[in-house]
Structure 1
Amino acid sequence: MEASNVSTTSDFTLVGLFSHTGLHLALFFLVATMFATGLLGNTILIFLIATDSRLHTPMYFLLSQLSLLDVGFPLVTIPKMVTDFLQGENAITFGGCVTQMFLLMLMGVSEGVLLSLMSYDRYVAVCHPLHYQVLMRGQVCLVMVGASWFSGALVASIQTSIALQFPYCASHTVDHFFCELPALLKLSCADTSDYELALSISGVLILLLPLSLIFTSYSHVLGAVLRMRSAEARRKAFTTCSSHVAVVGLFYGAAVFMYMVPGSYHSPQQDNVVSLFYSLITPTLNPLIYSLRNREVRMALVKATGRADFRAKR
């Protein structure tokens, strides 16, 4: 192949999700509405946890970090997609593509690790309530959060640096609405089959290790809940834990399909739907799942709303 057809610095063209047809316009406004809703919901949740003293607990501290990641996830992809659609341009620079890929991997891995650590928090709260304050003291929570962010940064740095070593051909059209590693590898002039296999294997490890911790934690939690004599205690434990299980299912279901199933087994259209699911739908649903099913969060919201109304009347 001629050198003129190989580049590592040229711009890329993203294939958008929408065209200017009636159905796609409706879907575009639905995506924009979900983006605004998710951004507002997660921001409110972060604000409530930071300002309400009743929410200054390890569980809500970890939840605030989850909301922070859920703010960042759609911000990396959706504004760019919306701007491209409105302007009729789908170009992205090589640097922008790499940055997008790095940030998404950083937040994706960090969220996966964080969800597993949140399951450990619930295990301690239900199975060892008398030791909860010691086992989940402030320093431990900070280490947990630091470990999740460090894991994401490490994996993102390694994967992105390896992807940059491949040359990319004259066709720079990414069959995706943002720069994601599996879609970018399809444009490489070099043989990436070994790396894609290694990516799938690492995806299994990165996903299955946290999932194994989640499964182990909730197996113990379920056993402890079933042994509780108080119906009220069982209800409260099930409500809190089921919210977390729902979030885990939404996130990991999409991630397993995207990174554990080899790319040859799913189409670009399926990749777009799955990526939209975990980059937009899941971050939008997370604050709704936690706030609607959590009495403490609802009370903090009512308190904050009442305080705002009082100040407005004055």
Structure 2
Amino acid sequence: MSSNQRIITDNNKSPLIQVLSLMFLVIAILSCFVRTGAKLYMIKALRVDDILIIVATVLAACQTVIVFNACEHGLGQHFEVLSSSDRETFFKSQYATNTMLIASLLCCKLSGTMSLRIMAQKGQKWIIICEAVVSAWGITALIANFFQCQPPTPWLYGDNDKCINLKAFWTYYSTANIITDIIIVIIMAENVVKIQTSWSKKILVMSVFGSRIFVTPAIVAQIHYSNKAFDSADHSFSIWPASITIQLVQCLTILTVCLPNFKPFLDSLESGQIRVDDLRRQGKTIQEWAEQQISSSRSCIENTAQ
């Protein structure tokens, strides 16, 4: 079977899933390395939001390894040609893959909300509510995934009479993923607007932090292909487009959370830019710059009010 899996054909999409999954994982790992390296180089420390994104990346790596194993046992091939052993391994791999995915996305989203909380410093009511909603979304999804089908084989979702409505569950989960992303972007924009600086810089910061909105098209594609897969009896083959979009969603989620720390923010001094080494001495990335500016703006507003 392994020799056949190296060739992408109309009846075998396993190699395609493996190649794209590996590519997405490399992008996610590099993003995490850049973020972590920038933080250690700039401020010589890692915060809770940094630890969470590292955990999310580790979970993504484990999830990708499981996807590779699933491909070796039938993912991307027609269900009817699989042995009973491969079918069992396929279902177990899907079960583990979904668990890792939910946990990884939860850590990513909590990392984003905690970064917002650190940046906002005051007036954190809506951010805390958002964190609570995100936590409830992730934890309930994990519980639903754990018990998606009747024990002792909760991974065997081929029998609809013994399982929850997986189509409805994953549609809810992915839709909530989009909605919480939009809420996080709105809260971020509300805080950045209060920064006392030029609109060009505000737009730059909002664009960097708001880049997570570009995950939405991938999530929509995931919903579409997942629903098609759940409607098919060819479980292992019909799910291959959904598997790829899931890996893409995971990659983009990690990438967009890491993006604000990719390079120092170029502020304007005389010529409109500040040297990178100046920012390095100050220990500021785009995120740190935004945190400082929002804090300064709030202080100015409070002093004016007094």
Global fold match (TM > 0.5): yes
1:101-134 per-position Cα deviation (integer Å, ceiling 9, x unaligned): 22112122223434443453354355x33467xx
Residue matched to 2:64: 74
Question: Does structure 2 retain, via aligned residues, the 8 Å contact 1:59–1:118?
Answer: yes
Which is worse superposed, 150-159 or 286-295?
286-295
Q: CA deviation at 1:253?
A: 2.9
**Gap runs ≥5 in structure 1:** 1-12, 166-179, 304-314
Q: Give 3-state SS (helix, strand or coil) of 1:230's partner.
A: coil
Residue matched to 2:239: 271
Question: Does structure 1 retain, via aligned residues, the 8 Å contact 2:226–2:239?
Answer: no
Q: Does 1:60 align with 2:27?
A: no
Residue matched to 2:169: 202
Question: Does structure 2 retain, via aligned residues, the 8 Å contact 1:106–1:153?
Answer: yes
Q: Distance in 2 between matches of 1:260 and 1:94?
A: 20
Give me the TM-score of the superposition, normalised by structure 2. 0.57
Q: Does 1:99 align with 2:92?
A: yes
CA RMSD of aligned residues (A): 5.1
Alignment: residue pair count: 252
Amino acid at match of 2:187: H
Question: Does structure 2 retain, via aligned residues, the 8 Å contact 1:84–1:90?
Answer: yes
Superposition pairs of residues 242-261 of structure 1, within 5 angstroms = 242-246=210-214, 248-249=215-216, 252-259=219-226
Question: Does structure 2 retain, via aligned residues, the 8 Å contact 1:69–1:111?
Answer: yes
Q: CA deviation at 1:250?
A: 6.0
Q: Distance in 1 between matches of 2:60 and 2:175?
A: 21
Superposition pairs of residues 70-219 of structure 1, within 5 angstroms = 70-81=60-71, 92-93=85-86, 96-121=89-114, 123-125=116-118, 128-130=120-122, 150-151=139-140, 153-161=142-150, 164=153, 185=158, 188=159, 192=160, 195=163, 198-219=165-186
Q: CA deviation at 1:154?
A: 1.8
Give me the TM-score of the superposition, normalised by structure 1. 0.55
Q: Give 3-state SS (helix, strand or coil) of 2:148's partner.
A: helix
Q: Distance in 2 between matches of 1:95 and 1:267?
A: 14
Q: CA deviation at 1:219?
A: 2.4
Q: Distance in 1 between matches of 2:256 and 2:72?
A: 26
Q: CA deviation at 1:204?
A: 3.6
1:23-49 per-position Cα deviation (integer Å, ceiling 9, x unaligned): 989958844862673575367469748
Q: Distance in 2 between matches of 1:234 and 1:244?
A: 17
Q: Distance in 1 between matches of 2:168 and 2:73?
A: 35
Q: CA deviation at 1:233?
A: 5.2
Question: Does structure 1 retain, via aligned residues, the 8 Å contact 2:17–2:240?
Answer: no
Match of 2:189 among 207, 215, 222: 222
Residue matched to 1:19: 7
Superposition pairs of residues 25-36 of structure 1, within 5 angstroms = 30-31=19-20, 34=23
Cα 1:50–1:77 change in 2 (3 A) is farther
**Gap runs ≥5 in structure 2:** 76-80, 266-275, 281-306
Cα 1:215–1:59 change in 2 (3 A) is same
Question: Does structure 1 retain, via aligned residues, the 8 Å contact 2:13–2:240?
Answer: no
1:167-193 per-position Cα deviation (integer Å, ceiling 9, x unaligned): xxxxxxxxxxxxx87xx52xx4xxx27
